[in-house]
Structure 1
Amino acid sequence: MTQTEDLTPVKPTESELLVVTGMSGAGRSTAANALEDHGWYVVENLPPQMLVTLTDLVSRMPQSIPKLAVVVDVRSKALFSDIRDALTHLSASGVSFRVLFLDASDDVLVRRFEQGRRPHPLQGDGRILDGIATEREVLHELKEMSTMVVETTDLNVHELATDITEYFSASGPIVLRLNVMSFGFKYGLPVDANFVADVRFIPNPHWVPQLRPLTGMDQEVSDFVLVDSGAEEFVERYVHALEPVLAGYRRENKHYATIAVGCTGGKHRSVAVSAELAKRLAQLPMVTVTTSHRDLGRE
């Protein structure tokens, strides 16, 4: 990756404008998806002639679309030839914008097109390499004008999405959002669980008359569940086992995960353990945690 100017995030009063372009097969769609996931309004395959008009419309409602990303490509050389004029016009009009250029080596681009079994948009009757060479010639000047060039030769789609997130998300590096959900096995497994923990090994407060009407949200039940039952050790070891998994999720650009904790009815043990587990997980770096209790309140 090469950078041609400082990319320290700026919080302008007007909408932010990012023009995303680069070589076909270098990852424009992946970059667009990552930007969209982090609050950018993304317009793909916009003819350059419409860039000024779109920017003018967005500038009139900056609160509605504070971050606009426009993806332009070279599928039509005749249309793309106007991109420099459009950017020059924006500069002359005082519009602040950045240009992100995605690139990759010829051999990697060829391999990606062959794996996708699609022709290069500019190859015509020639080879993929002919299309790549033509595209490099057309894009040469725009690459020189770019604010940032990202080399994707050695990046897979997850790594590229992670890089785009770190460069253009206001929150910086990916924060993994975890939902720790309690549930009752007798009502079925949660369909969206990434992990399921069974805490039915813990003595059941249901059989203690004074605890039966309470829930795992009550301190008396929580103390009963977590003290002298092995639950504390279970939670500590479970968090330790999850740490490399959650780190891997962030590397693979996974934003959400659900950890389901189940007991028989979802009222006592699973609720208390979920609360303790969420408290421990919240101490990990780049993780935010919420709790939910699917079956709490059911008879």
Structure 2
Amino acid sequence: MKLVIISGLSGSGKTVALHTLEDLGYYCIDNLHVGLLGAFGRHITDTGMTEEVRYAVGIDARNRPEDLARFAQILQELEAQQIHSRILFLTADDDTLLKRFKETRRKHPLSGPERTLAEAIARERELLAPILARADLTVDTTATNVHQLRELVRERMQLGKRSLSLLIQSFGYKHGVPTDADFVFDARCLPNPHWEPALRPLTGRDAAVEQYLQNQGEAVAYLEQMQGFLDQWIPAFERENRSYLTIAVGCTGGQHRSVWLAEQMHRHFRGQREGVTLRHRELT
């Protein structure tokens, strides 16, 4: 990994992500003008960049629209300099961003007397669309706190050159489907431990729930078919040089069935490859 570019919506956690990479030993620059990326690439190449030196830059919407529109061309210029970049894009839903700005009383960089906060967020999404389109990894921080985001960045950005980072995530449909998932599996068709009084307060990580689901033929068949599908198709993504893949498994509340399936898949893939991360979105 030569260069990490961090971008995304204001209030989504870009500063947290950049500081996390700094703690990991990256040389970080925040709010770099996108038009200077090429010059920055030439500088680090001319100074004898080695494999041990890692760089990260933050780019936000405080750029000229015409420069942001040239983002794909700028990336090509970096590649021509033998600088291989990975792009991390952070986002969140509008309601969450509005709440964060109101709670912190921060001013959105694009808001002003003639533009409301909601309009500023919408304009920012529009301006950053060229970067989002080229993102290697998109992280939705709507349901992620600061500590979880730091851990996620640490786990997913420490990769070898040809490693694929696989995130397996459970979630509850009643809290919304993760927007950053590459594959989404719906486990609501499976027998629900919630309706067993003794199992209701437990989670899919508890032995009693695990035993209950392992005794359900439908649940075992679902798991085996899901694993078989992913065993077949994950290598195809690796052949296309994908660096990140997110597998999301959902049930109604994100407590029993999806957690059990995610745990089983994490165990399965961890035995095959490095860079496998497990996250239970609804469990704290």
TM-score normalised by L of structure 1: 0.49
2:42 is matched with 56
User: 1:219-258 alignment to 2 at 5 Å?
Assistant: none
Tell me: CA distance 1:56–1:145, structure 2 relative to 1, closer, same or farther (3 Å). same
SS at match of 2:3: strand
Tell me: CA distance 1:148–1:46, structure 2 relative to 1, closer, same or farther (3 Å). same
CA contact (8 A) 1:47 1:80 kept: no
Q: How far does the alpha carbon of each residue in 1:53-98 deviate from its partner, in whole angstroms, 9 at most, with x for none?
A: 1111112322496110011111233453443332132134442111
Q: How far does the alpha carbon of each residue in 1:185-236 deviate from its partner, in whole angstroms, 9 at most, with x for none?
A: xxxxxxxxxxxxxxxxxxxxxxxxxxxxxxxxxxxxxxxxxxxxxxxxxxxx
Aligned residue type for 2:33: P
Tell me: CA distance 1:141–1:82, structure 2 relative to 1, closer, same or farther (3 Å). closer
User: 1:131-280 alignment to 2 at 5 Å?
Assistant: 131-169=120-158
CA contact (8 A) 1:23 1:135 kept: yes
2:99 is matched with 111
Tell me: CA distance 1:55–1:93, structure 2 relative to 1, closer, same or farther (3 Å). closer
SS at match of 1:146: coil
- 1:40 partnered with 2:26: yes
Question: What's the offset of the Cα at 1:111?
Answer: 0.8
SS at match of 1:153: coil
SS at match of 1:66: coil
Which runs of 5 or more residues in structure 2 are unaligned?
A: 161-284
Aligned residue type for 1:70: V
CA contact (8 A) 2:91 2:139 kept: yes
User: Number of residue pairs matched?
Assistant: 159
Question: What's the offset of the Cα at 1:45?
Answer: 0.6
Tell me: CA distance 1:63–1:88, structure 2 relative to 1, closer, same or farther (3 Å). closer
CA contact (8 A) 2:20 2:153 kept: yes
CA contact (8 A) 1:108 1:153 kept: yes
Percent of residue pairs identical: 32
1:102 is matched with 90
CA contact (8 A) 1:22 1:139 kept: yes
RMSD: 2.4
1:123 is matched with 111
SS at match of 1:122: coil
Question: What's the offset of the Cα at 1:134?
Answer: 0.5
CA contact (8 A) 1:35 1:169 kept: no
CA contact (8 A) 1:73 1:80 kept: no
Query: Rg: which structure is higher?
Result: 1
